[in-house]
């Protein structure tokens, strides 16, 4: 255990020596270092001391002036020892940073060791509480960081579970959930909802001819063109193979047709450049909207879009077809 180190600032040499002897009888020899003035006291590094005792009246400063200087240099306990028996002065000393106030009356010298012990105990508890607070804040910050990491990991896992790894679009499973949600909202609030099915024409032949890597390039390119043409609230997914599906809330069939026509034309142009030939890869597209088809369920809306896609392919591919009310539902052959 490190020996106690106290600084006593007292200009009266006799009192200084008596107090030093009383303190060292209690705490041990060489415990006290003495200073007779402000100048002498400030030659020491104040933070090295465990506690400071100081007189109020000094030859080169008042106690209040020195107290202000001491508390600006260190946070160690400071006991004001003075003959000024004034409650107002004691309160002022405490406000300026003194931790205790001892009046030089009677046998005050013999109470000083007890006052020192009390102040050292309080200072120790304060330091321990500060360490505990810092450790608690650190632990809390670590818990918050861990929680944030877990939350981020969970979001990434949810994102991975909801998206197609090749295109980055939603996968079919997640699309089905979003479809039910948007269909229910459209029914509840009476706004339109358009569902779109897109199929790449001749994809199997291109994949067989140029290889799977080229086929994957086509799918990634198609997904990027689709995303670049959608609004913030629109939803796109890879439905399977070379088939994409879109949901356009608040969009009529005519509005959806304008959007997908841009997608179809842009995809043809870009793939023609990629293939270095006049004609690019075309798309067949089917559209069904609630306002046109009056679908009773989300599945029925998708079946209507599927039927419209089948009609686009049947009519020669490379075109957009919109489902009509009462149109016979048909399944597009694989």
Q: Tell me: the pLDDT tens digits for 26-84?
A: 999 999 999 999 999 999 999 999 999 999 888 998 888 899 899 888 889 999 998 87
Give the pLDDT score at 333: 40
Cβ 243 vs Cβ 197: under 8 Å = yes
Determine how many CB atoms are found less than 10 A away from the CB of residue 176. Answer: 17
Mean pLDDT, range 169-186, rounded to an integer: 95
Tell the CATH topology of 172-322.
Alpha-Beta Plaits (3.30.70)
| CATH architecture, domain 6-131 | 3-Layer(aba) Sandwich (3.40)
* Spatial CA neighbour of 283 closest among 214, 222, 194: 222
Per-residue confidence (pLDDT) for residue 301, from 0 to 100: 96
Kindly state the tokens that stand for 295.
């679908």
Share of the chain above pLDDT 90, in %: 76
CA dist 328 and 152 (Å) reads 46
**pLDDT at residue 237, rounded to an integer:** 97
Question: Mean pLDDT of all residues in the chain?
Answer: 91
Question: 178-196 as b/e, with b when 16 or more CB fall inside 10 Å?
Answer: ebeebbeebeeeeebbbbb
Q: At 178, is the secondary structure helix, strand, or coil? A: helix
Give the pLDDT of residue 135: 94
Predicted confidence (pLDDT) per residue in 202-223, tens digit: 999 999 999 999 999 999 999 9
Q: To 10 degrees, what angle do helices 212-228 and 203-210 make?
A: 130
DSSP state of 48: G
Give pLDDT, residue 329. Answer: 42
pLDDT at 84: 79
Could you identify the residue written with the tokens 């003959």? 83
| Residues 87-142 pLDDT 10s | 888 899 999 999 999 998 888 899 999 999 999 999 999 989 999 999 999 999 99
The residue ranges of every structural domain in the chain are 6-131, 172-322
**Hey, CA dihedral for 62, 68, 72, 75, is it positive or negative?**
positive
> Please, where are the H alpha helices in the chain?
13-27, 38-41, 63-73, 87-95, 108-162, 172-189, 203-210, 212-228, 253-275, 290-293, 298-314
């Amino acid at each position: 255990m490190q020996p106690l180190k106290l600084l006593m600032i007292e200009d009266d040499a006799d009192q200084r020596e008596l107090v030093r002897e009383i303190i060292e009888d209690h705490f041990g020899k060489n415990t006290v270092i003495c200073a007779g003035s402000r100048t002498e006291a400030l030659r020491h590094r104040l933070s090295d001391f465990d506690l400071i005792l100081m007189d109020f009246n000094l030859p080169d400063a008042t106690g209040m002036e020195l107290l202000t200087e001491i508390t600006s240099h260190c946070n160690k306990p400071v006991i004001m020892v003075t003959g000024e028996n004034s409650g107002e002065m004691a309160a002022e000393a405490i406000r300026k940073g003194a931790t205790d106030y001892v009046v030089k009356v009677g046998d005050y010298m013999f109470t000083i060791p007890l006052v020192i012990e009390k102040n050292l105990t309080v200072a120790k508890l304060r330091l321990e509480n500060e360490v505990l607070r810092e450790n608690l804040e650190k632990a809390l910050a670590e818990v918050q960081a861990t929680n944030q990491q877990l939350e981020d990991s969970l979001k990434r896992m949810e994102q991975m579970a909801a998206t197609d790894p090749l295109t980055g679009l939603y996968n079919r499973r997640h699309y089905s959930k979003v479809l039910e949600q948007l269909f229910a909202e459209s029914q509840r609030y009476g706004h339109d909802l358009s569902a779109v099915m897109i199929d790449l024409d001749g994809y199997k032949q291109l994949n067989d001819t140029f290889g799977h890597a080229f086929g994957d390039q086509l799918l990634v390119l198609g997904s990027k063109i689709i995303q670049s043409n959608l609004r913030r609230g629109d939803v796109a997914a890879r439905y399977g193979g070379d088939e994409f599906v879109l949901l356009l809330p608040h969009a009529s069939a005519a509005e959806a047709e304008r959007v997908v026509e841009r997608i179809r034309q842009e995809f043809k142009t870009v793939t023609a450049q990629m293939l270095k030939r006049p004609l690019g890869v075309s798309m067949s597209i089917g559209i069904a909207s609630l306002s046109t088809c009056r679908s009773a369920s989300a599945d029925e809306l998708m079946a209507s879009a599927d039927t419209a896609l089948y009609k686009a392919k049947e009519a020669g591919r490379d075109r957009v077809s919109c489902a009509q009310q009462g149109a016979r539902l048909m399944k597009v052959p694989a």
